[in-house]
Amino acid sequence: MRFLFFSDIHSDLKTLERLVDQEADYYFCIGDLVSWARGLDKAGEILRRRAGKVFVIPGNHESARDIETFCKAYGLEDMHSQSRQFGSVHLAALGYSNPTPFDTPGEYSEEEIAARLEPFSALNPLVLACHCPPKDTPLDQGSGNRHFGSTAISSFIDRVSPRYFLCGHIHEAEGVQANLGSEGKTIGINVGKRGYMLDLSTL
């Protein structure tokens, strides 16, 4: 059961078409299809080609309401703060980022992120997709070697050790993979708009 994860399209419709043209069982956008929630309809026309097979969460550039309305309009599934089971594997997802300097539409406090992740802590085996990466990891390293990720997500990974963690948000870390968590048991990938194919049936 192959999932194609991608993020941070930011209205690059040619790249979105390339991703949707790839063969997968499901497609998962981990936020920021557009910038400042503008142009979602154009992205929707592309994604509806795979209607019924596309999951979406809001990035920091979309609100939860934006994505809820968008998914209803184009036959897509809103996975924000939701989980689903595929075979024996649980797939859980949380959109938004921790606060940014730009006051974008999709931002949570660290306390809110922690509270929204907590219902996923008992799911095992777990694949977790969040728009935001964990703090102080290779997945959240931006320009000037600065780290912009979430401390709440880091703490959750340290405690729960999902099998896989997939994210976006920090463009400079696109394609970076790292072992995460206090014991390094979680395989983390910043999928970016190049995308990452994960076969859940192998877990």
The string of pLDDT tens digits covering residues 159-195 is 999 999 999 999 999 999 999 998 899 999 999 999 9
- If phi > 0 it is left, if psi is from -120 to 50 it is alpha, else beta; for residue 52 that is left
Angle (CA) 50 163 97, round 5°: 65
Confidence band, pLDDT 50/70/90 cuts, at residue 129: very high
Angle (CA) 72 2 137, round 5°: 90
Confidence band, pLDDT 50/70/90 cuts, at residue 75: very high
In the chain, the domains with their CATH numbers are 2-202 (3.60.21.10)
CB 67 within 8 A of CB 58: yes
pLDDT at 202: 86
Confidence band, pLDDT 50/70/90 cuts, at residue 15: very high
155 Cβ contact list (under 8 Å, min separation 6): 114
pTM: 0.97
